[in-house]
Structure 1
Amino acid sequence: MNTIKTFIPSDSVASFKKFANKTKKNVEGFSYTIGEPYMKVFYHPVINENGVRGYVTKAFHEICDLTINMPEENNWKLVCTFKDGSFTPVDSSKELVFKIPAHGHDYDKCDVCGHWCKNSYVIENIVTGDELQVGCECVKKFGIKSFDYLSKFTSELHKLYDYSRSYSTDRDGDELKMWGGNPNAIYKNAFKKADLIMSAKAVYNKCPIYKKAYRQGNTHYPSPTLVDIEATLCGENFGSNSEYVGKVCAYALSKPVDGEFAEKTHRLASDYYAYLDESVYAFFMVKNYEDSLKVNTKLEAGTAVKVDGKVIQTRTEESFYGVMTINTILTDNGTECERVGVIPTTEIDGVKRTSFYSSIKGMYRGRVCLERATKNPKKGVVYTAL
């Protein structure tokens, strides 16, 4: 069995299955497996406004790992096909070097009968190592029936997935491979993970609370925190501190993978490159690490509290009872609070502040959720300053 491990763009999976399943019906022992889609960074050729490929950039593409099992017949395996002027290697993941240097595109005779042939197969004996380039008719003399189907399969695979910039052309030791898929595919720019985390840290330093996306009227607005991270990253308005990045990643990796969010933070912490869609994970990696350095005061439901601080965000959400207003507050002591409903506010030098008395309703993801807000304290109640 000749096993080939490669990958294809995730948007090509459906097309691949159509012709792969036809081959599976006609070739005994042929099989394939397709992995789950994931993002991988490549060198991506950039097409300028004149349609000319000018330079390359680092970009993310969504791909699926692909494993193909090609059966041998009578100890012979197919190496490549020369058909109608095209060269189609069975395995495009590595450079093909013929054992007989004369073999190749310009080799125009059959090694079996010696006659001229336009189309041919290069086959290799897996026991003796012999290599032959034979015509389409002479290959049948070996009792081989599947090579024509396998040749069509690899040809269709190359049509589906443009191998003109094949991975086999990569130099050994190159950090990244050249993208060989659809040149017009939508892709995402790749950034260094360290730069993304430091951008998140710069935004965290300005406001340690994550501002969620919100709706105002019929308009939906993205998270202001993520917008700031993108602007900071693209504007290169962040510092460089590899030691800090290492600590943030180490802390993230020390936590158990107990859900999809944790799984994605682990992936980001382990990778070298990142893309903008991972900004939310970078921010919470920074926030969780910073929170771990603080001395936590135990807060329990029912505790009476005095709240003094900045109103970071006011947003609305649909609920079972209608539209509700949610206020996110950062107290002067650095505690993150959330209060659903009206709160008293004042504005000083353009900064919106609040001051009220309440009690703790509960804790949710490190955030203190508050009960009803009152301007005055209740008699006989001892309040804790948040």
Structure 2
Amino acid sequence: MNTIKTFIPSESVDSFKKFADKTQKNVKDFTYSLGKPYQKLFYHPVIEEDGTAGHLTKVFHEVCDLTVNIPEQSGWKLLATYKDDAFTPVDPTKELVFKNPQHGAHYGKCDHCGHWCKNAYVIENITTGEELQVGCECIKKFGIDDMYYISDFTRKLYEIYNYKLNYATDKEYGDLLEWGGRKDSSYKNAILKTNLIMAAKSQYEICPVYKKGTKVENVRYRSATLEGIDTILNSGNLKVDETYVKAVCEFGAKIHPKTEFEEDMLTVAKNFYCYQGQEVYAFFLVKAYEDSLKPELNLPKGCQVKVCGKVIQKRFEESYFGMMEINTILTDKGVTCERYGKVPTTEDKRTSFYALVKGVFKGKVSLDRATKNPKKGIEVINI
């Protein structure tokens, strides 16, 4: 018996019960229990442009404890699902090679009844190794209709709440969980890792700075960087450089993760298939590899630099003194800078100014106050 213990938002209880009751009706020994609604504090991580968690906000959510008991299956195992034009391998960590090379999205028929089918399962007999691609109805005839309902149940539960939780410690509130109420995209269409890395590389060449999502008048806009990767993936003009992908993955495999974000980057490097939700990790994997090829910036704190380049992104964050303007600049020499405060710009977002260096953090230069003229007596370094 596989037991899942998690939470779901209280507003999602009614929709959860609809598909959970259906699963319980069709799967023997499948059970679940829901607790009463209560207020629980969760962390909400804020991801900075370099992919690190810049700070955490604490938010109360009304949730219900949930325990799900899922019976184990035997006899046949599921290899992949083709549903609504999406290909979902059970194990995304390695290449899925069918014993029957004709099996796949374009197979178009059920091996059991011979009829045409759009949605299908590829299954394998645990004892004999026999591989079949069967339709949604015929799969029930193999005694594994439970698998159909359990797969559907877990996919829908992920949509309501991502129960792959992360724990943290807080002095005031004790152990806190990272909120998982956002939709998880791990059930969606699989993407070849080679394609994802090349799309991330192409987007990096367009702009090596990650552009965070923005919020304007309570409307959230997705990261322009991730939108760019989607556009490249969907263009059909992607050229894969296997040598480059191999180099990136070998670099990524050497990562000793210290954060969950780095663990996700390592996952992209090791897996064969990826998903849309992993685009951000692919981008930072490419960025980390490209940064490793560049000479290290030697800009000590307090040195003076002249910045000539383009403002890539301007965003605003709440601070102790009110709303703070944050400018990310890509210089003509390819150096990424960040200035908390205003900078002079032209209509085409070009900027040129002098500033003292506050520090260099993960390849990004943090700048002090922007001035029109250099400070006398301090050497100027053009970056």
TM-score > 0.5 by shorter chain:
yes
Q: Deviations over 1:252-291 (max 9, x none)?
A: 1112111101111111111111111111111111111111
Which residue in 2 is equivalent to 1:329?
329
Paired AA for residue 312 in structure 2: I
- The match for 2:356 is 359
CA contact (8 A) 1:336 1:367 kept: yes
Matched, 1:374 2:352: no
Once the two structures are superposed, what CA deviation does each residue of 1:124-160 show, in whole Å capped at 9, x if it has no partner? Answer: xxxxxxxxxxxxxxxxxxxxxxxxxxxxxxxxxxxxx
The structural deviation recorded for 1:5 is: 9.1
1:164 and 2:140 aligned: yes
Deviation at 1:234, TM superposition (A): 1.8
Q: Which has the larger radius of gyration?
A: 1
TM-score scaled by structure 1?
A: 0.57
CA distance, structure 1, for counterparts of residue 343 and residue 205 of structure 2: 26
CA distance in 2, matches of 1:167, 1:354: 67
Structure 1 Cα separation of the partners of residues 371 and 282 of structure 2 = 37
Counting only pairs closer than 5 Å after superposition, residues 149-188 of structure 1 correspond to structure 2 as 164=140, 181-182=151-152, 185=156, 187-188=187-188
Q: CA deviation at 1:215?
A: 2.2
Tell me how far 1:44 sits from its aligned partner: 2.4
Using the TM superposition, give the Cα deviation of residue 191 of structure 1 relative to its aligned residue in structure 2, in angstroms: 0.8
- Contact 1:301 1:360 (C-alpha < 8 Å) held by counterparts: yes
Distance 1:370 1:6 in 2: 51
Cα offset, 1:181, TM superposition: 2.3
CA 1:382 to 1:33, structure 2 compared with 1: closer, same or farther past 3 Å?
Answer: farther
Q: Alpha-carbon deviation of 1:213?
A: 1.2
For 2:328, the aligned partner's letter is T
1:360-381, Cα deviation, whole Å (9 max, x unpaired): 1122332111000001111212
Other structure's SS at 2:199 match: helix
The 5 A counterparts of 1:143-292 are 164=140, 181-182=151-152, 185=156, 187-292=187-292
Deviation per CA, 1:307-355: give whole Å up to 9, x if none.
Answer: 11111111111122211111100111111000011111123xxx32100
Q: Does 1:317 align with 2:317?
A: yes
Amino acid at match of 1:307: V
User: What amino acid is the match of 2:83?
Assistant: P
1: CA distance, partners of 2:311 / 2:190:
35
Q: In the alignment, residue 251 of structure 1 is paired with which amino acid?
A: F
> Matches of 2:79 and 2:342 in 1, distance apart?
47
Match of 1:339 in 2: 339
Residue 190 of structure 1 deviates from its aligned partner by 0.9
Q: Deviations over 1:171-204 (max 9, x none)?
A: xxxxxx9997229956411110110111111111
| Gap regions ≥5 residues in structure 1 | 23-30, 35-39, 47-55, 64-91, 98-161, 170-176
Cα contact 2:291–2:363 (8 A) shared by 1: no
- 1:13 is displaced (CA, Å) by 9.3
Letter in 2 for 1:43: T
CA shift digits 1:67-116 (9 cap, x unpaired): xxxxxxxxxxxxxxxxxxxxxxxxx984578xxxxxxxxxxxxxxxxxxx
Percent sequence identity over aligned pairs? 39
Q: Call closer, same or farther: CA 1:328–1:219 in 2, change over 3 Å.
A: same
Provide structure 2 residue ranges, at least 5 long, that are not aligned to the other structure. Answer: 8-15, 33-68, 73-77, 93-122, 129-137, 160-186
- Equivalent pair of 1:190/1:274 in contact (CA under 8 Å): yes
- Alignment partner of 1:43 is 2:81: yes
Aligned counterparts of 2:345 and 2:358: Cα–Cα separation in 1: 21
Does the CA contact (< 8 Å) of 2:303 and 2:379 recur in 1? no
Structure 1 pair 62–270 and aligned structure 2 pair: CA distance change class (3 A): closer
* SS at structure 2 position matched to 1:330: strand
Q: Matched residues in 2 for 1:178 and 1:272: separation?
A: 25
Q: SS state of the match for residue 287, structure 1?
A: helix
CA contact (8 A) 2:297 2:363 kept: no
Aligned amino acid, residue 249 of structure 1 = C
